[in-house]
Structure 1
Amino acid sequence: MGYYLLKRVLLFIPTLLGITLITFVLMQALPGDPVQGMAGERATAETIARIRSELGQDRPLPLQYLGYVKLLATGELGRSYYTNRKISDDLLQKFPNTLRLALAAMLFASIFGIGLGTLAAVKRGTNWDRVIAFVTVGGISIPVFWLGLALMLVFSLYFRVLPPSGMGNGRLEYLILPAVTLGTFSLSYIARVTRSSMLESLSQPYIAAARAKGLSETRVVLKHALKNSLIPIVTLIGLDLGSYLNGAVLTETIFGWDGLGRYALDGILKRDYPVIMGVVLFGAFVFVTMNLLVDLSYHLLDPRVRIKSET
C-alpha cells in the first residue's frame, strides 16, 4: 500500500510537466496575439515591441517554456497579463466558489443517481425501469446550456421561487439551479451505471444465500447488493467531481457564478497565457489527485482489492 502510494505520488511531477508542455504548445497555435490585444489596434510598432519584451514574448519558444518551468519551481504560477495579479491568488479566490458548486452538484447527482439506479435494478422490466431509463437518456442527451436556461425560465421567471443568477453572498437558494444544471448529466450516468452494477450483484450466489437466510429484501439490496456494486459508481463519481472542480464553464457563465470556469473562459478570450496555463495546471493537479483518491478508496470498499495489491 505504501509503495503504491509513493509510486503514484512520484508520477505527479512528470505528469504535470507533460501537461504544461502540451498546453504551452497548443497556446501557440491559438489565433490572435495577446500583445496586440493588450496594446490596442492603434498601438505603434514600438509600443508593441516594448510590451512584448516586458512579457518575455520576444524570446524563443523553448526559452519561454523553460522560464515558465523555473517559475513553477519557485512555487509561483505567474501574473495575469491584464490585471498583473498573481495567478495563485486568483485561483485561491475562485476555487472555493467552484468547490461549493461542484460538491452541491455531485451530492445531488449521487443521491438521486444511486437511488434511481437501485430502484431501476430492483424493478427491472417494470414501468419504473422504463421511466427511469427514459429520464436518464434525456439527462445525458440534453445540452447543459439549454437545461440551465430552461430551469432559469421556469423557476426564476415563471414561478419566481429561485433567483436566476449570481451567488447571493453564499445563500443556498442561489446554489440550487446551478447545482441541478451541472449535476443532471452525472445523475443520469450514475443511475445507469448503478443499475448495471446492481443487476450483476443481484445475480450472484451470495444474494440467493442472503435471501435463503430470511433477510429482508431491503437489507439484501442495500447491505449486500449495493455495497458490492460501489466500485464502478465511486469511480464515476470521483472522475466527474474532478472535472467539476476544474470549473464548469457553461454553468458558471449562465448563472453568473464567479468560479474557475468563468476565470478560465475570460483568460482564453483575452489570450491571457499565464491565466490559461495556471488554470490548466491547477486543474490537472486536482484531477490527478481525485484519481489517486478514487484508487485508494477501492481498498476500503473491497477488501479483495487490498489483498490483491498486497500479495
Structure 2
Amino acid sequence: MFRYIVRRLLQMVLTFFGATFIVYALVFANQDDPIQALAGERPISASVRQALTERYHLDDPFLTQYWYYMKGLLTGDFGTSLNGRQIKDMMVQAWPVTIRLALLAIVIAATVAILAGVVSGIRRGSLFDNTTLVITLVLLSLPIVVLAPLAQLIFGIKLGWFPPTAGAHPSLFALLLPALVLGSTVLATELRVTRASVAENLRSDYVRTARAKGLSRQRVIGVHVLRNSLIPVVTLIGVDIGGLMSGAIITEGVFNIPGVGFNLFRGIRTEDGPLVVGFVSILVIVFLVVNLLVDLLYAALDPRIRYE
C-alpha cells in the first residue's frame, strides 16, 4: 500500500505540472488585450499600459511567463490579479463558499441517488423504477442554465421557500436551493449507475450462494450486494466532487454566490490570466487528491482489491 501511494503521488506531481502547463498555454493563447478588457471601454494611457505590461510580464515570451508563475506557485505566491487584488486573498474568500456548496450538493445527490437506485435495482420494472427513470430523464434533459433560473423563480421568488440569492456571506439555508440545483446535475447519472450496478449484482453467483446458505434478504443486499455495487458509484461521486467545484459557474452566477465559479467566470470575461490559472491550479489538485482517495476506498469496499 505504501509503495502504491508513493507511486500515485509521483504521478500526481507530473500530472499537476502537465495540467497547469496546458491551462497556462490556453490562457496565454486566448489573451487578446487583457489590460483593455479589464478597463472596459475606458481609454488607457500609454504609461499605465506600459507599467501594467511590465508588472505582469505580458511582453515576455510564453515560457518566461510560465516560469514566473510556477516559481511563485511553488513558494505559495499565486500572484496578483489584473484588478490589483492578491489572488491568495480572493481564494481565501471564495473556496470556503464553494466547498460548502459542493459538499452540500454531493451529500444530497449521493444520498438520494444511492437510496433510490438501490430500491429501483431491487424492484426492476415497478412503478417506482419507472417513475425514477422519467425523473432522471427530465433532469438529464434540462441544462443547468435553464434549471437554475427556473428554480430561483419558482422556489425563491414565487413560493418564497428559499432566499432567491445567497449573498456575500451565505448561510447553510441560503445555500440549500443552489445545492439542490447543482446536485441535480449529477443525481440522475449516479442514480442510474447505482440501479444498474445493483441489478447486475443481484444476478451474480455469490448472491445465489448467499441465499442458498439461508442468509436473510436484508443481509444479502446490505452486506454483499451494496458493497460491490458501490464501487462504480464511488468512482462517479469522486469525479463529481471535483466537477461540482469547477462547474458551479452558472449556479453561483444565478444565485450571486461569490465562490470559485463566480471568480472563474469574471476572470475569463476580463481575460485575467493569473486569476484563471490560479483557481484552476487548485482545482487540479482537488481532482488529483479526490481520485487518490477514491482508489484507496476501493480496498475498503472490496476486500479482494489489494494495492501492492
| TM-score normalised according to structure 1 size | 0.93
Cα deviation per residue 1:144-188 (whole Å; 9 max; x = unaligned)? Answer: 121112222221222212111114844332122101100012111
2:54 corresponds in structure 1 to 53
> Percent identity among equivalent residues?
38
Q: CA RMSD in A?
A: 1.8
Q: Alpha-carbon deviation of 1:245?
A: 2.6
1:15 corresponds in structure 2 to 15
Alignment of structure 1 residues 123-162 onto 2, 5 Å = 123-162=123-162
The answer to whether the Cα contact below 8 Å between 2:38 and 2:271 also exists between their aligned partners in 1 is no
Query: Which consecutive unaligned segments of at least 5 residues does structure 1 have?
Result: none
The answer to whether the Cα contact below 8 Å between 2:245 and 2:261 also exists between their aligned partners in 1 is no
Paired amino acid for 2:13? I
1:79 corresponds in structure 2 to 80
Q: Alpha-carbon deviation of 1:277?
A: 0.9
More divergent stretch after superposition (139-148 vs 95-104): 139-148
Paired amino acid for 2:66? Y
Separation (CA, whole Å) in 1 of partners of 2:179 and 2:285:
23
Q: Alpha-carbon deviation of 1:298?
A: 0.8
The answer to whether the Cα contact below 8 Å between 1:98 and 1:247 also exists between their aligned partners in 2 is no
Q: Alpha-carbon deviation of 1:43?
A: 2.4
1:42 corresponds in structure 2 to 43
Paired amino acid for 1:17? F
Separation (CA, whole Å) in 1 of partners of 2:151 and 2:51:
49
Alignment of structure 1 residues 242-281 onto 2, 5 Å = 242-246=242-246, 248-281=248-281
Aligned residues: 307
Separation (CA, whole Å) in 1 of partners of 2:293 and 2:137:
29
More divergent stretch after superposition (167-176 vs 281-290): 167-176
Cα deviation per residue 1:118-151 (whole Å; 9 max; x = unaligned)? Answer: 1111111222222111111111221112111222
Paired amino acid for 1:89? D
Cα–Cα, structure 1 residues 301 and 4, in superposed 2: closer, same or farther, change >3 Å?
Answer: same
The answer to whether the Cα contact below 8 Å between 2:106 and 2:241 also exists between their aligned partners in 1 is yes
Query: Which consecutive unaligned segments of at least 5 residues does structure 2 have?
Result: none
Cα deviation per residue 1:77-130 (whole Å; 9 max; x = unaligned)? Answer: 111110x22212221221111111111100111111011111111111222222
Separation (CA, whole Å) in 1 of partners of 2:75 and 2:169:
34
SS of residue in 1 equivalent to 2:68: helix
1:171 corresponds in structure 2 to 171
SS of residue in 2 equivalent to 1:57: coil
2:193 corresponds in structure 1 to 193
| TM-score normalised according to structure 2 size | 0.94
Q: Alpha-carbon deviation of 1:60?
A: 2.1
Cα deviation per residue 1:190-239 (whole Å; 9 max; x = unaligned)? Answer: 11000111011101122223323443323322222111111101000011
2:180 corresponds in structure 1 to 180
